[in-house]
A and B are shown apart, each in its own frame.
Chain A
Amino acid sequence: MLAGASMSRRALLQLALSTVLPVRATAAHVPSSARPAADRLFISGARQGPDDYVAVVFDDQARRIASIPLSARAHGAASHRATQQACLFARRPGLYLHAFDRRFPEQYRTVKPVDGRHFYGHGSYSADGALMYATENDYDAQRGVLGIYDTTAGYRRLGEMETGGTGPHEVVRIPGSSMLVVANGGIHTHPDTGREKLNIDTMEPSLTVVDSRNGRLLARHVLPSEWHQVSLRHLAVDADGNVWFAGQYEGHESTVAGLAGVIHIDRSLRSFSRGRSTKGLSLVELPADLQLRTSHYLSSVAVAGEHALFTSSKGGLMFKVDRVSARLVETLSARDCSGVSAVSPPSGQAADGEVSKDSADTLTELASATALLTSGTGEILTVSDDGAMSLAMHRVQWDNHVYAI
Chain B
Amino acid sequence: MPISSVLSATLQLSAGVRALSLLKDRRSCIPVLGLAIMLPMSGLARAAVPANGDYAERAVHQVYQPAAMRFADAGTQLLEAAQDACTVRTSETLENLLSRFEVAVGAFSALELYRTGPLLEENRQNRLFYWPDKRRVGERQMRALLADAAERVPSAEDIAGKSVALQGLPALERLLYGKRTPLHYSEGNAAPDCQVAMAISGNIHAMADLIQKGWQDDAAQVMSMLEPAAGSDYYRTREEVLRALVTQILVGIDIVQDRKLAALTGEQADVKAGPLWRSAQSLNMIRNNLESLRALSIDTGLAEAADLQDELAFEFRSADGMLQKLQALPVLADNAGDFSSDAESLLRSLMAVVGGIRYTLNDRFVATLGISPGFNSEDGD
Binding site for B on A (CB under 8 A): 47-50, 61, 75, 91-92, 121, 169, 233, 248, 250, 252, 289, 292-293, 295, 297, 299, 312-317, 333, 335-338, 365-368, 375-379, 385-387, 389-393, 395, 397-400
Name which residue of chain B comes closest to A316, CB basis. Answer: B34
Verify B15–A336 contact, CB threshold 8 A: no
Q: In the bound complex, what is the Cα–Cα distance between A188 and B239 (angstroms)? A: 37
Which chain B positions have C-beta within 8 A of A47? 38, 375
Segment at the interface with A among B56-64, B212-220, B244-252, B282-290:
B244-252
Which chain B positions have C-beta within 8 A of A390? 115, 120, 125-126
A292-B18, A390-B126 are known; give 6 further A-B pairs, CB within 8 A: A47-B375, A121-B381, A312-B34, A386-B131, A387-B134, A400-B380
Verify A314–B377 contact, CB threshold 8 A: yes
Verify B381–A400 contact, CB threshold 8 A: yes
Name which residue of chain B comes closest to A251, CB basis. Answer: B26
Verify A379–B251 contact, CB threshold 8 A: yes
Which chain B positions have C-beta within 8 A of A293? 11, 14-15, 31, 33-34
Which chain B positions have C-beta within 8 A of A400? 376, 380-381
Verify A335–B380 contact, CB threshold 8 A: no
Which chain A positions have C-beta within 8 A of B30? 314
Q: In the bound complex, what is the Cα–Cα distance between A3 and B36 (angstroms)? A: 44
Verify A335–B123 contact, CB threshold 8 A: no
Name which residue of chain B comes closest to A185, CB basis. Answer: B381
Question: Which residues B27-82 have CB closer than 8 A to chain A?
Answer: 27, 29-31, 33-39, 41
Which chain A positions have C-beta within 8 A of B14? 293
Which chain B positions have C-beta within 8 A of A313? 34, 36, 374-377, 380
Q: In the bound complex, what is the Cα–Cα distance between A389 and B135 (angstroms)? A: 15
- Interface residue B143 (Cβ < 8 Å from any Cβ of A): no
Q: Tell me how far the C-beta of B206 lies from the nearest C-beta in chain A, rounded to whole angstroms.
A: 16
Known: A316-B254, A333-B258, A333-B259. A377 touches B37 (CB 8 A): yes
Residue from B18, B137, B381 having most chain A Cβ neighbours under 10 A: B381
Q: Tell me how far the C-beta of B222 lies from the nearest C-beta in chain A, rounded to whole angstroms.
A: 14
Verify A365–B15 contact, CB threshold 8 A: no
Name which residue of chain B comes closest to A195, CB basis. Answer: B381
Which chain B positions have C-beta within 8 A of A250? 27
Verify B37–A389 contact, CB threshold 8 A: no
Verify A395–B115 contact, CB threshold 8 A: no
Which chain A positions have C-beta within 8 A of B380? 248, 297, 299, 313-314, 338, 400
- Interface residue B5 (Cβ < 8 Å from any Cβ of A): no
For A316, give its contact among B12, B116, B137, B377 (CB under 8 Å): B377
Q: In the bound complex, what is the Cα–Cα distance between A17 and B352 (angstroms)? A: 62
Which chain A positions have C-beta within 8 A of B31? 293, 295, 314-316
Q: In the bound complex, what is the Cα–Cα distance between A314 and B33 (angstroms)? A: 8
Known: A91-B381, A338-B380, A377-B247. A386 touches B133 (CB 8 A): yes
Which chain B positions have C-beta within 8 A of A367? 163
Segment at the interface with A among B98-106, B149-157, B229-237, B304-312:
B229-237
Q: In the bound complex, what is the Cα–Cα distance between A336 and B244 (angstroms)? A: 14
Known: A297-B380, A299-B380, A313-B377. A292 touches B36 (CB 8 A): no
- Interface residue B324 (Cβ < 8 Å from any Cβ of A): no
Verify A315–B34 contact, CB threshold 8 A: yes
Which chain A positions have C-beta within 8 A of B22? 252
Verify B123–A391 contact, CB threshold 8 A: yes
Q: In the bound complex, what is the Cα–Cα distance between A385 and B381 (angstroms)? A: 28
Q: Tell me how far the C-beta of B285 lies from the nearest C-beta in chain A, rounded to whole angstroms.
A: 16
For A295, give its contact among B29, B235, B236, B237 (CB under 8 Å): B29
Which chain A positions have C-beta within 8 A of B18? 292, 295
Per-residue contact bits, chain B 189-210, to A (CB 8 Å; 1 contact, 0 not): 0000000000000000000000
For B375, give its contact among A121, A233, A336 (CB under 8 Å): A336
Which chain A positions have C-beta within 8 A of B11? 289, 292-293
For B376, give its contact among A233, A289, A337, A389 (CB under 8 Å): A337
Q: Tell me how far the C-beta of A228 lies from the nearest C-beta in chain B, rounded to whole angstroms.
A: 16
Q: In the bound complex, what is the Cα–Cα distance between A368 and B115 (angstroms)? A: 22
Which chain B positions have C-beta within 8 A of A50? 39, 41
Residue from A252, A299, A365, A376 having most chain B Cβ neighbours under 10 A: A376
Which chain B positions have C-beta within 8 A of A387? 132, 134, 259
Which chain A positions have C-beta within 8 A of B87? none
Which chain A positions have C-beta within 8 A of B377? 313-314, 316, 336, 338, 376
Verify A376–B34 contact, CB threshold 8 A: no
Residue from B36, B240, B247, B251 having most chain A Cβ neighbours under 10 A: B36
Q: In the bound complex, what is the Cα–Cα distance between A397 and B35 (angstroms)? A: 13
- Interface residue B145 (Cβ < 8 Å from any Cβ of A): no
Q: In the bound complex, what is the Cα–Cα distance between A61 and B33 (angstroms)? A: 28
Q: In the bound complex, what is the Cα–Cα distance between A50 and B135 (angstroms)? A: 43
Q: List 12 A-B contacts (CB under 8 A).
A: A49-B39, A289-B11, A289-B15, A293-B31, A295-B29, A299-B380, A316-B35, A366-B123, A367-B163, A379-B251, A399-B376, A400-B381
Q: Tell me how far the C-beta of B175 lies from the nearest C-beta in chain A, rounded to whole angstroms.
A: 20
For B250, give its contact among A335, A338, A365 (CB under 8 Å): A335
Verify A395–B235 contact, CB threshold 8 A: yes
Verify B125–A335 contact, CB threshold 8 A: no
Question: Which residues B332-381 have CB closer than 8 A to chain A?
Answer: 374-377, 380-381
- Interface residue B8 (Cβ < 8 Å from any Cβ of A): yes
- Interface residue B164 (Cβ < 8 Å from any Cβ of A): yes
Which chain A positions have C-beta within 8 A of B258? 333
Q: In the bound complex, what is the Cα–Cα distance between A317 and B376 (angstroms)? A: 12
Which chain B positions have C-beta within 8 A of A315? 31, 34
Closest 3 CB pairs of A and B: A316-B34, A336-B36, A376-B375
Which chain B positions have C-beta within 8 A of A289? 8, 11-12, 15
Name which residue of chain A comes closest to B247, CB basis. Answer: A377
Verify B116–A365 contact, CB threshold 8 A: no
For B251, give its contact among A233, A299, A335, A385 (CB under 8 Å): A335
Verify B375–A397 contact, CB threshold 8 A: yes
Per-residue contact bits, chain B 118-138, to A (CB 8 Å; 1 contact, 0 not): 001001011100111111010
Q: In the bound complex, what is the Cα–Cα distance between A297 and B163 (angstroms)? A: 37
Residue from B132, B133, B374, B375 having most chain A Cβ neighbours under 10 A: B375
Which chain B positions have C-beta within 8 A of A337? 376
